[in-house]
Chain A
Amino acid sequence: MVQTMPKSWNKETKPHMFCPGCGHGIVLKQLGFAIDKLNIASNTTLGIDIGCSLLAWNFLNINTVQTHHGRTTATMIGYKTAKPKRIAIAYMGDGGGYAIGLQSLLYAAFRNDPITVILVNNGNYGMTGGQEAPTTMPGDVTPTSPEGAPEFGSGFKGPELVASIAHEKAFIVRATVSKPLVLNSMIDKAIENQIKNNSFSFIEVLSICPTNWKMNAKQCFEKIDVMEKFFPTGILKGER
Protein backbone atom coordinates (compact mmCIF):
# COMPACT_ATOMS: atom_id res chain seq x y z
CA MET A 1 0.00 0.00 0.00
CA VAL A 2 1.55 3.23 -1.18
CA GLN A 3 0.66 6.41 0.67
CA THR A 4 -0.30 9.11 -1.84
CA MET A 5 -1.27 11.80 0.65
CA PRO A 6 -0.48 12.83 4.23
CA LYS A 7 -2.35 11.07 7.04
CA SER A 8 -3.63 14.39 8.33
CA TRP A 9 -5.51 15.10 5.07
CA ASN A 10 -9.26 14.62 5.22
CA LYS A 11 -9.85 11.85 2.69
CA GLU A 12 -13.59 12.45 2.37
CA THR A 13 -13.19 15.95 0.95
CA LYS A 14 -10.85 14.93 -1.83
CA PRO A 15 -10.74 15.87 -4.70
CA HIS A 16 -10.42 19.29 -3.12
CA MET A 17 -11.89 22.53 -4.41
CA PHE A 18 -8.74 24.28 -5.60
CA CYS A 19 -8.14 24.69 -9.32
CA PRO A 20 -6.03 22.12 -11.19
CA GLY A 21 -2.36 22.73 -10.45
CA CYS A 22 -3.00 25.18 -7.60
CA GLY A 23 -0.03 25.92 -5.36
CA HIS A 24 -2.25 25.72 -2.27
CA GLY A 25 -2.38 21.95 -2.76
CA ILE A 26 1.41 21.71 -2.64
CA VAL A 27 1.70 23.95 0.44
CA LEU A 28 -1.06 22.10 2.31
CA LYS A 29 0.57 18.80 1.38
CA GLN A 30 3.88 19.84 2.93
CA LEU A 31 1.99 21.23 5.95
CA GLY A 32 0.28 17.86 6.21
CA PHE A 33 3.59 15.99 6.07
CA ALA A 34 5.01 18.32 8.73
CA ILE A 35 2.00 17.70 11.00
CA ASP A 36 2.38 13.94 10.43
CA LYS A 37 6.08 14.07 11.23
CA LEU A 38 5.70 16.11 14.42
CA ASN A 39 2.58 14.10 15.35
CA ILE A 40 0.59 17.16 16.42
CA ALA A 41 -2.67 16.58 14.52
CA SER A 42 -4.75 16.31 17.72
CA ASN A 43 -3.09 19.35 19.26
CA THR A 44 -3.26 21.88 16.42
CA THR A 45 -5.76 24.50 15.33
CA LEU A 46 -5.67 26.01 11.86
CA GLY A 47 -7.10 29.46 11.22
CA ILE A 48 -7.97 30.29 7.62
CA ASP A 49 -8.62 33.58 5.89
CA ILE A 50 -10.99 34.82 3.19
CA GLY A 51 -9.78 34.35 -0.37
CA CYS A 52 -8.68 31.17 -2.08
CA SER A 53 -7.19 30.00 1.23
CA LEU A 54 -10.69 29.57 2.69
CA LEU A 55 -11.20 26.54 0.47
CA ALA A 56 -8.98 24.73 2.98
CA TRP A 57 -11.76 24.77 5.59
CA ASN A 58 -12.23 21.00 5.49
CA PHE A 59 -8.93 20.14 3.90
CA LEU A 60 -7.08 18.77 6.93
CA ASN A 61 -8.27 16.45 9.67
CA ILE A 62 -7.53 19.05 12.34
CA ASN A 63 -9.65 21.71 14.04
CA THR A 64 -10.14 24.65 11.72
CA VAL A 65 -11.45 28.17 12.33
CA GLN A 66 -12.79 30.40 9.56
CA THR A 67 -11.97 34.00 10.45
CA HIS A 68 -12.77 37.46 9.08
CA HIS A 69 -10.80 38.85 6.18
CA GLY A 70 -7.31 39.81 7.28
CA ARG A 71 -7.94 38.95 10.94
CA THR A 72 -6.57 35.43 10.92
CA THR A 73 -3.38 36.45 12.73
CA ALA A 74 -5.36 38.39 15.33
CA THR A 75 -7.85 35.55 15.89
CA MET A 76 -5.13 32.95 16.27
CA ILE A 77 -3.23 35.18 18.75
CA GLY A 78 -6.43 35.38 20.81
CA TYR A 79 -6.86 31.62 20.58
CA LYS A 80 -3.26 31.00 21.62
CA THR A 81 -3.64 33.39 24.58
CA ALA A 82 -6.69 31.47 25.78
CA LYS A 83 -5.20 28.01 25.15
CA PRO A 84 -1.41 28.26 25.42
CA LYS A 85 -0.90 24.49 25.17
CA ARG A 86 -2.41 24.22 21.70
CA ILE A 87 -0.46 24.94 18.51
CA ALA A 88 -1.93 27.79 16.46
CA ILE A 89 -1.30 28.02 12.72
CA ALA A 90 -2.66 30.93 10.67
CA TYR A 91 -3.03 30.19 6.98
CA MET A 92 -3.68 33.06 4.57
CA GLY A 93 -3.09 34.46 1.13
CA ASP A 94 -1.20 37.58 0.14
CA GLY A 95 -4.39 39.64 -0.01
CA GLY A 96 -5.36 38.73 3.55
CA GLY A 97 -1.86 39.03 4.92
CA TYR A 98 -0.49 42.14 3.21
CA ALA A 99 -3.37 44.12 1.76
CA ILE A 100 -5.88 44.10 4.62
CA GLY A 101 -4.24 42.31 7.54
CA LEU A 102 -0.73 43.79 7.56
CA GLN A 103 -1.07 45.61 10.90
CA SER A 104 -2.07 42.40 12.72
CA LEU A 105 0.90 40.63 11.17
CA LEU A 106 3.36 43.42 12.02
CA TYR A 107 2.30 43.67 15.64
CA ALA A 108 2.30 39.90 16.05
CA ALA A 109 5.95 39.94 14.93
CA PHE A 110 6.74 43.00 17.07
CA ARG A 111 5.23 41.47 20.23
CA ASN A 112 6.65 38.01 19.42
CA ASP A 113 3.27 36.30 19.75
CA PRO A 114 3.77 32.52 19.74
CA ILE A 115 1.93 31.56 16.55
CA THR A 116 2.97 30.24 13.12
CA VAL A 117 1.83 32.22 10.09
CA ILE A 118 1.88 30.62 6.64
CA LEU A 119 1.25 33.10 3.84
CA VAL A 120 0.77 31.85 0.27
CA ASN A 121 1.85 34.50 -2.22
CA ASN A 122 0.69 33.99 -5.79
CA GLY A 123 0.97 37.62 -6.85
CA ASN A 124 -2.73 38.31 -7.42
CA TYR A 125 -6.21 38.17 -5.92
CA GLY A 126 -7.03 34.68 -7.14
CA MET A 127 -10.59 34.14 -6.03
CA THR A 128 -12.00 37.33 -7.55
CA GLY A 129 -10.32 36.83 -10.91
CA GLY A 130 -6.64 37.67 -10.63
CA GLN A 131 -6.65 41.44 -9.97
CA GLU A 132 -3.49 43.35 -9.07
CA ALA A 133 -2.35 42.72 -5.50
CA PRO A 134 0.44 44.39 -3.48
CA THR A 135 2.65 41.45 -4.39
CA THR A 136 2.14 41.62 -8.16
CA MET A 137 5.57 41.94 -9.76
CA PRO A 138 6.28 45.22 -11.62
CA GLY A 139 5.26 44.92 -15.26
CA ASP A 140 2.84 42.03 -14.80
CA VAL A 141 -0.43 42.33 -16.70
CA THR A 142 -3.58 41.68 -14.66
CA PRO A 143 -7.25 42.64 -15.28
CA THR A 144 -6.77 45.82 -13.23
CA SER A 145 -3.32 46.67 -14.58
CA PRO A 146 -3.73 46.14 -18.33
CA GLU A 147 -0.53 48.06 -19.14
CA GLY A 148 1.52 46.21 -16.53
CA ALA A 149 1.82 46.87 -12.81
CA PRO A 150 3.73 50.09 -12.04
CA GLU A 151 7.43 50.08 -11.15
CA PHE A 152 6.81 51.77 -7.84
CA GLY A 153 4.10 50.43 -5.56
CA SER A 154 4.10 46.81 -6.61
CA GLY A 155 6.16 43.79 -5.63
CA PHE A 156 5.63 44.17 -1.88
CA LYS A 157 8.32 42.33 0.06
CA GLY A 158 6.55 41.28 3.24
CA PRO A 159 9.07 39.02 5.05
CA GLU A 160 11.79 41.70 4.78
CA LEU A 161 9.46 44.24 6.41
CA VAL A 162 8.34 41.83 9.12
CA ALA A 163 11.93 40.71 9.77
CA SER A 164 13.10 44.28 10.22
CA ILE A 165 10.93 44.78 13.31
CA ALA A 166 10.53 41.20 14.55
CA HIS A 167 11.82 39.93 17.88
CA GLU A 168 15.23 38.26 17.78
CA LYS A 169 13.76 34.84 18.57
CA ALA A 170 11.35 35.02 15.64
CA PHE A 171 11.76 32.73 12.65
CA ILE A 172 11.08 34.42 9.32
CA VAL A 173 11.59 32.76 5.97
CA ARG A 174 10.56 32.88 2.34
CA ALA A 175 10.08 29.49 0.65
CA THR A 176 8.70 28.41 -2.71
CA VAL A 177 6.49 25.64 -4.07
CA SER A 178 9.14 24.81 -6.67
CA LYS A 179 11.24 23.32 -3.82
CA PRO A 180 8.72 21.34 -1.76
CA LEU A 181 11.25 19.50 0.40
CA VAL A 182 12.84 22.78 1.52
CA LEU A 183 9.34 24.11 2.16
CA ASN A 184 8.60 21.04 4.28
CA SER A 185 11.67 21.52 6.49
CA MET A 186 10.88 25.25 6.85
CA ILE A 187 7.33 24.47 8.02
CA ASP A 188 8.83 21.94 10.45
CA LYS A 189 11.18 24.57 11.86
CA ALA A 190 8.47 27.19 12.05
CA ILE A 191 6.17 24.93 14.07
CA GLU A 192 9.04 23.82 16.29
CA ASN A 193 9.92 27.47 16.91
CA GLN A 194 6.42 27.95 18.26
CA ILE A 195 6.59 24.85 20.46
CA LYS A 196 10.14 25.11 21.82
CA ASN A 197 10.95 28.83 21.82
CA ASN A 198 7.38 30.05 22.31
CA SER A 199 8.05 32.59 19.55
CA PHE A 200 6.60 34.02 16.38
CA SER A 201 7.31 32.36 13.06
CA PHE A 202 6.36 33.50 9.58
CA ILE A 203 6.69 31.70 6.25
CA GLU A 204 5.89 33.32 2.94
CA VAL A 205 5.50 30.72 0.19
CA LEU A 206 5.81 31.80 -3.44
CA SER A 207 3.03 29.94 -5.21
CA ILE A 208 1.63 29.35 -8.67
CA CYS A 209 -1.80 30.28 -10.02
CA PRO A 210 -2.34 28.52 -13.39
CA THR A 211 -5.93 29.74 -13.75
CA ASN A 212 -5.35 33.45 -13.33
CA TRP A 213 -1.89 33.57 -14.88
CA LYS A 214 -3.50 31.70 -17.80
CA MET A 215 -0.48 29.40 -18.05
CA ASN A 216 0.19 25.68 -18.18
CA ALA A 217 2.39 23.83 -15.71
CA LYS A 218 5.64 24.46 -17.58
CA GLN A 219 5.06 28.20 -18.03
CA CYS A 220 4.00 28.48 -14.37
CA PHE A 221 7.26 27.02 -13.10
CA GLU A 222 9.21 29.23 -15.52
CA LYS A 223 7.43 32.24 -14.09
CA ILE A 224 8.10 31.18 -10.51
CA ASP A 225 11.82 31.06 -11.37
CA VAL A 226 11.54 34.73 -12.36
CA MET A 227 9.62 35.44 -9.15
CA GLU A 228 12.34 33.77 -7.07
CA LYS A 229 14.87 36.25 -8.49
CA PHE A 230 12.67 39.19 -7.55
CA PHE A 231 11.67 37.78 -4.15
CA PRO A 232 14.87 36.12 -2.86
CA THR A 233 14.12 32.92 -0.95
CA GLY A 234 15.80 31.78 2.23
CA ILE A 235 15.86 32.37 5.98
CA LEU A 236 15.66 36.07 6.81
CA LYS A 237 15.67 35.76 10.59
CA GLY A 238 16.24 32.89 12.98
CA GLU A 239 18.48 29.88 13.31
CA ARG A 240 19.58 28.07 10.21
Chain B
Amino acid sequence: MKNFRIVISGEGGQGIQTIAKIISNACFRTGLFCSFLPSFGVEQRGTPSVAFLTISDQKLLQPTFDIADIVMVLSERALKPVVKYINPNTTIIFDSSTIAKESLPKNTFKYNAAPMAEYASQKFTPKAINIIATAVLTRKINLNDQNVWAEVQNTLGAKFKDKEIFRINKEAFEFGLYLILETEKFTKPTFQTKHKILYFKGHGKSAEIVPERCKGCGICILKCPVAALKFSQDLGFYSLSVPHVDLEKCIACGNCKNYCPDGAIAVEKDKIISDFLKQEQK
Protein backbone atom coordinates (compact mmCIF):
# COMPACT_ATOMS: atom_id res chain seq x y z
CA MET B 1 0.00 0.00 0.00
CA LYS B 2 1.30 3.34 -1.06
CA ASN B 3 0.51 6.62 0.58
CA PHE B 4 -2.17 8.59 -1.19
CA ARG B 5 -3.06 12.26 -1.04
CA ILE B 6 -6.37 12.72 -2.80
CA VAL B 7 -8.45 15.79 -3.66
CA ILE B 8 -12.05 15.25 -4.73
CA SER B 9 -13.88 18.20 -6.21
CA GLY B 10 -17.29 18.73 -7.74
CA GLU B 11 -20.48 20.71 -7.74
CA GLY B 12 -22.04 21.18 -4.30
CA GLY B 13 -24.73 18.54 -3.96
CA GLN B 14 -23.12 16.00 -6.28
CA GLY B 15 -22.07 13.97 -3.25
CA ILE B 16 -18.38 14.89 -2.99
CA GLN B 17 -18.28 14.77 0.80
CA THR B 18 -20.17 11.45 0.74
CA ILE B 19 -17.51 9.89 -1.52
CA ALA B 20 -14.75 11.06 0.81
CA LYS B 21 -16.62 9.86 3.89
CA ILE B 22 -17.19 6.40 2.42
CA ILE B 23 -13.57 6.03 1.28
CA SER B 24 -12.13 7.22 4.59
CA ASN B 25 -14.38 4.94 6.66
CA ALA B 26 -13.50 2.01 4.39
CA CYS B 27 -9.81 2.76 5.01
CA PHE B 28 -10.41 2.58 8.76
CA ARG B 29 -12.14 -0.76 8.25
CA THR B 30 -9.06 -2.06 6.43
CA GLY B 31 -6.80 -0.84 9.22
CA LEU B 32 -5.23 2.05 7.33
CA PHE B 33 -4.72 5.52 8.71
CA CYS B 34 -6.77 8.19 7.04
CA SER B 35 -7.74 11.83 7.42
CA PHE B 36 -10.63 13.61 5.72
CA LEU B 37 -10.97 17.39 5.54
CA PRO B 38 -14.16 18.71 3.96
CA SER B 39 -13.95 22.19 2.44
CA PHE B 40 -17.00 24.25 1.69
CA GLY B 41 -17.77 27.76 2.77
CA VAL B 42 -20.92 29.68 3.51
CA GLU B 43 -21.85 29.11 -0.09
CA GLN B 44 -22.14 25.38 0.47
CA ARG B 45 -24.80 24.82 -2.13
CA GLY B 46 -24.45 25.57 -5.79
CA THR B 47 -20.72 26.20 -5.70
CA PRO B 48 -17.75 23.81 -5.93
CA SER B 49 -17.23 21.63 -2.89
CA VAL B 50 -13.84 20.06 -2.21
CA ALA B 51 -12.72 17.15 -0.02
CA PHE B 52 -9.14 16.38 1.01
CA LEU B 53 -8.18 12.79 1.85
CA THR B 54 -4.86 11.47 3.12
CA ILE B 55 -4.44 7.71 3.28
CA SER B 56 -1.39 5.97 4.71
CA ASP B 57 -0.32 2.73 6.37
CA GLN B 58 1.64 4.73 8.93
CA LYS B 59 0.42 7.17 11.54
CA LEU B 60 -0.49 10.53 10.05
CA LEU B 61 1.18 13.56 11.55
CA GLN B 62 -0.10 16.22 9.16
CA PRO B 63 -3.52 16.05 7.48
CA THR B 64 -2.89 18.92 5.02
CA PHE B 65 -0.73 18.85 1.89
CA ASP B 66 0.41 21.03 -1.01
CA ILE B 67 0.51 18.57 -3.90
CA ALA B 68 -1.99 15.78 -4.45
CA ASP B 69 -1.31 12.33 -5.94
CA ILE B 70 -4.83 11.92 -7.28
CA VAL B 71 -7.25 14.68 -8.18
CA MET B 72 -10.82 13.72 -9.00
CA VAL B 73 -12.91 16.38 -10.74
CA LEU B 74 -16.60 15.87 -11.48
CA SER B 75 -17.63 19.23 -12.94
CA GLU B 76 -15.98 21.91 -15.02
CA ARG B 77 -16.44 24.70 -12.50
CA ALA B 78 -14.84 22.54 -9.81
CA LEU B 79 -11.47 22.65 -11.61
CA LYS B 80 -10.70 26.16 -10.39
CA PRO B 81 -10.21 25.43 -6.65
CA VAL B 82 -8.01 22.36 -7.26
CA VAL B 83 -5.53 23.70 -9.84
CA LYS B 84 -3.01 24.65 -7.15
CA TYR B 85 -2.81 21.02 -5.91
CA ILE B 86 -1.77 19.72 -9.32
CA ASN B 87 1.81 19.12 -10.49
CA PRO B 88 3.20 16.92 -13.34
CA ASN B 89 3.10 13.77 -11.19
CA THR B 90 -0.55 14.16 -10.27
CA THR B 91 -3.07 11.78 -11.81
CA ILE B 92 -6.28 13.53 -12.77
CA ILE B 93 -9.49 11.51 -12.89
CA PHE B 94 -12.16 13.57 -14.59
CA ASP B 95 -15.66 13.20 -15.88
CA SER B 96 -15.16 13.25 -19.64
CA SER B 97 -18.85 13.74 -20.38
CA THR B 98 -18.87 17.19 -18.77
CA ILE B 99 -15.22 18.32 -18.95
CA ALA B 100 -13.21 18.76 -22.14
CA LYS B 101 -9.60 17.59 -21.92
CA GLU B 102 -8.44 20.95 -23.25
CA SER B 103 -9.79 22.76 -20.22
CA LEU B 104 -7.50 20.84 -17.82
CA PRO B 105 -4.28 22.53 -16.64
CA LYS B 106 -1.39 22.36 -19.14
CA ASN B 107 1.25 21.05 -16.73
CA THR B 108 -0.32 17.64 -16.28
CA PHE B 109 0.47 14.41 -18.10
CA LYS B 110 -1.44 11.65 -16.34
CA TYR B 111 -5.11 11.44 -17.17
CA ASN B 112 -7.86 8.97 -16.45
CA ALA B 113 -11.38 9.70 -17.49
CA ALA B 114 -14.82 8.19 -17.85
CA PRO B 115 -18.13 9.74 -18.88
CA MET B 116 -19.55 9.17 -15.41
CA ALA B 117 -22.32 11.77 -15.45
CA GLU B 118 -23.59 10.51 -18.79
CA TYR B 119 -23.59 6.86 -17.64
CA ALA B 120 -25.27 7.80 -14.36
CA SER B 121 -28.07 9.70 -16.09
CA GLN B 122 -28.64 7.21 -18.88
CA LYS B 123 -28.23 3.90 -17.04
CA PHE B 124 -29.15 4.77 -13.45
CA THR B 125 -30.25 8.11 -11.94
CA PRO B 126 -28.24 11.38 -12.16
CA LYS B 127 -27.61 11.11 -8.41
CA ALA B 128 -25.76 7.79 -8.84
CA ILE B 129 -22.67 9.65 -10.09
CA ASN B 130 -21.11 9.68 -6.63
CA ILE B 131 -21.47 5.89 -6.26
CA ILE B 132 -19.83 5.34 -9.67
CA ALA B 133 -17.05 7.78 -8.71
CA THR B 134 -16.56 5.96 -5.39
CA ALA B 135 -16.14 2.67 -7.23
CA VAL B 136 -13.68 4.21 -9.71
CA LEU B 137 -11.62 5.65 -6.87
CA THR B 138 -11.76 2.35 -4.96
CA ARG B 139 -10.15 0.53 -7.86
CA LYS B 140 -7.65 3.30 -8.47
CA ILE B 141 -6.23 3.09 -4.93
CA ASN B 142 -6.66 -0.71 -4.61
CA LEU B 143 -9.06 -0.75 -1.69
CA ASN B 144 -11.06 -3.89 -0.93
CA ASP B 145 -14.37 -3.38 -2.78
CA GLN B 146 -16.29 -5.50 -0.27
CA ASN B 147 -15.24 -3.15 2.51
CA VAL B 148 -16.21 -0.11 0.49
CA TRP B 149 -19.62 -1.52 -0.41
CA ALA B 150 -20.26 -2.32 3.26
CA GLU B 151 -19.40 1.28 4.05
CA VAL B 152 -21.72 2.56 1.29
CA GLN B 153 -24.54 0.60 2.87
CA ASN B 154 -23.57 1.95 6.26
CA THR B 155 -23.53 5.59 5.11
CA LEU B 156 -26.62 5.52 2.91
CA GLY B 157 -28.48 2.98 5.06
CA ALA B 158 -31.55 5.14 5.61
CA LYS B 159 -32.04 5.68 1.89
CA PHE B 160 -31.49 2.00 1.09
CA LYS B 161 -34.74 1.02 2.82
CA ASP B 162 -36.30 1.66 -0.57
CA LYS B 163 -35.41 -1.49 -2.50
CA GLU B 164 -35.39 0.26 -5.87
CA ILE B 165 -32.79 2.78 -4.70
CA PHE B 166 -30.72 -0.07 -3.22
CA ARG B 167 -30.80 -2.00 -6.51
CA ILE B 168 -29.83 1.06 -8.59
CA ASN B 169 -26.94 1.94 -6.30
CA LYS B 170 -25.66 -1.64 -6.14
CA GLU B 171 -25.69 -1.86 -9.93
CA ALA B 172 -24.01 1.54 -10.21
CA PHE B 173 -21.27 0.48 -7.79
CA GLU B 174 -20.54 -2.75 -9.67
CA PHE B 175 -20.68 -0.86 -12.96
CA GLY B 176 -18.13 1.62 -11.62
CA LEU B 177 -15.77 -1.14 -10.45
CA TYR B 178 -15.49 -2.59 -13.96
CA LEU B 179 -15.63 0.72 -15.83
CA ILE B 180 -12.72 0.97 -18.27
CA LEU B 181 -11.03 4.31 -17.81
CA GLU B 182 -10.07 6.29 -20.89
CA THR B 183 -6.40 7.25 -21.01
CA GLU B 184 -5.63 8.65 -24.45
CA LYS B 185 -8.80 9.15 -26.42
CA PHE B 186 -11.48 10.92 -24.50
CA THR B 187 -15.20 11.06 -25.03
CA LYS B 188 -16.32 14.41 -26.36
CA PRO B 189 -18.06 16.36 -23.60
CA THR B 190 -21.52 16.11 -25.09
CA PHE B 191 -23.17 16.02 -21.69
CA GLN B 192 -22.43 19.67 -21.08
CA THR B 193 -24.51 22.70 -20.36
CA LYS B 194 -25.70 24.19 -23.60
CA HIS B 195 -23.96 27.54 -23.93
CA LYS B 196 -26.14 28.91 -26.69
CA ILE B 197 -29.33 30.79 -26.00
CA LEU B 198 -32.41 28.99 -27.30
CA TYR B 199 -34.60 31.20 -29.49
CA PHE B 200 -38.17 30.38 -30.42
CA LYS B 201 -40.22 32.32 -32.94
CA GLY B 202 -43.62 32.02 -34.51
CA HIS B 203 -47.33 32.62 -33.97
CA GLY B 204 -46.63 36.32 -33.34
CA LYS B 205 -44.51 35.59 -30.29
CA SER B 206 -40.82 35.21 -29.60
CA ALA B 207 -39.28 33.39 -26.66
CA GLU B 208 -35.83 33.12 -25.20
CA ILE B 209 -34.55 30.40 -22.88
CA VAL B 210 -31.02 30.59 -21.44
CA PRO B 211 -29.78 27.08 -20.53
CA GLU B 212 -26.65 28.54 -18.90
CA ARG B 213 -28.79 30.06 -16.17
CA CYS B 214 -31.58 27.47 -15.90
CA LYS B 215 -31.30 25.28 -12.80
CA GLY B 216 -34.20 23.01 -13.70
CA CYS B 217 -36.44 23.86 -10.73
CA GLY B 218 -39.63 23.43 -12.79
CA ILE B 219 -41.50 26.45 -11.41
CA CYS B 220 -42.21 27.84 -14.91
CA ILE B 221 -43.75 24.52 -15.97
CA LEU B 222 -45.89 24.46 -12.83
CA LYS B 223 -47.06 28.05 -13.25
CA CYS B 224 -47.78 27.96 -16.99
CA PRO B 225 -51.59 28.28 -17.27
CA VAL B 226 -51.83 26.58 -20.68
CA ALA B 227 -49.15 23.88 -20.21
CA ALA B 228 -47.06 25.21 -23.10
CA LEU B 229 -43.77 24.38 -21.38
CA LYS B 230 -42.18 20.94 -21.23
CA PHE B 231 -38.78 19.57 -20.20
CA SER B 232 -36.57 18.82 -23.20
CA GLN B 233 -33.33 17.03 -24.04
CA ASP B 234 -31.17 20.16 -23.73
CA LEU B 235 -29.22 20.42 -20.53
CA GLY B 236 -28.99 23.38 -18.18
CA PHE B 237 -26.64 24.63 -15.48
CA TYR B 238 -26.72 21.56 -13.21
CA SER B 239 -26.90 19.19 -16.21
CA LEU B 240 -30.64 19.01 -15.66
CA SER B 241 -33.25 19.34 -18.42
CA VAL B 242 -34.23 22.77 -19.69
CA PRO B 243 -37.85 23.47 -20.66
CA HIS B 244 -38.89 24.15 -24.24
CA VAL B 245 -41.87 26.31 -25.14
CA ASP B 246 -44.65 25.41 -27.52
CA LEU B 247 -45.53 28.79 -29.02
CA GLU B 248 -48.72 27.52 -30.59
CA LYS B 249 -50.20 26.96 -27.12
CA CYS B 250 -48.44 29.91 -25.45
CA ILE B 251 -50.54 33.00 -24.66
CA ALA B 252 -47.56 35.21 -23.70
CA CYS B 253 -48.98 35.90 -20.24
CA GLY B 254 -45.50 36.45 -18.80
CA ASN B 255 -45.94 34.08 -15.85
CA CYS B 256 -42.74 32.21 -16.61
CA LYS B 257 -40.77 35.44 -16.72
CA ASN B 258 -42.23 36.67 -13.44
CA TYR B 259 -41.74 33.40 -11.57
CA CYS B 260 -38.35 32.22 -12.88
CA PRO B 261 -35.87 32.77 -10.00
CA ASP B 262 -32.90 32.61 -12.38
CA GLY B 263 -33.90 34.99 -15.18
CA ALA B 264 -33.65 32.19 -17.70
CA ILE B 265 -36.93 32.43 -19.61
CA ALA B 266 -39.15 35.05 -21.20
CA VAL B 267 -41.84 35.15 -23.87
CA GLU B 268 -43.00 38.37 -25.48
CA LYS B 269 -45.44 39.25 -28.18
CA ASP B 270 -43.67 40.50 -31.30
CA LYS B 271 -43.50 44.28 -31.41
CA ILE B 272 -44.43 44.62 -35.06
CA ILE B 273 -47.76 42.97 -34.41
CA SER B 274 -48.48 44.98 -31.29
CA ASP B 275 -47.69 48.20 -33.21
CA PHE B 276 -50.05 47.03 -35.91
CA LEU B 277 -52.77 46.45 -33.31
CA LYS B 278 -52.19 49.92 -31.88
CA GLN B 279 -52.71 51.46 -35.29
CA GLU B 280 -55.84 49.43 -35.73
CA GLN B 281 -57.18 50.66 -32.41
CA LYS B 282 -56.62 54.27 -33.47
Contacts and interface: CB of A to CB of B under 8 A. Distances in A.
Contacts of B259: 26, 180
A2 B268 contact: yes
Given A25-B262, A217-B217, A19 B46 contact: yes
Nearest to A26: B261
A218 B222 contact: yes
Interface residues of A, number: 34
Contacts of A2: 206-208, 266-268
Given A15-B237, A180-B259, A20 B212 contact: no
B213 A14 contact: yes
A18 B12 CA distance: 12
Interface in A203-235: 210-211, 216-218, 221
Nearest to A24: B261
B46 A4 contact: no
A211 B45 contact: yes
A100 interface: no
Interface string B218-243: 11011100000000000001101000
Contacts of B264: 4
Residue of B46, B212, B262 with highest tally of chain A CB at under 10 A: B262
B222 A217 contact: yes
A54 interface: yes
Given A14-B262, A14-B263, A17-B43, A4 B257 contact: yes
Contacts of B219: 21, 217, 221
Interface string B57-96: 0000000000000000000000000000000000000000
Contacts of B268: 2-3
Contacts of A23: 261
B215 A29 contact: no
A24 B262 CA distance: 10
Contacts of B206: 2
Given A4-B208, A19-B45, A55-B43, A29 B217 contact: no
B237 A4 contact: no
Interface of A: 1-6, 9, 14-26, 29-30, 54-55, 127, 180-181, 184, 210-211, 216-218, 221
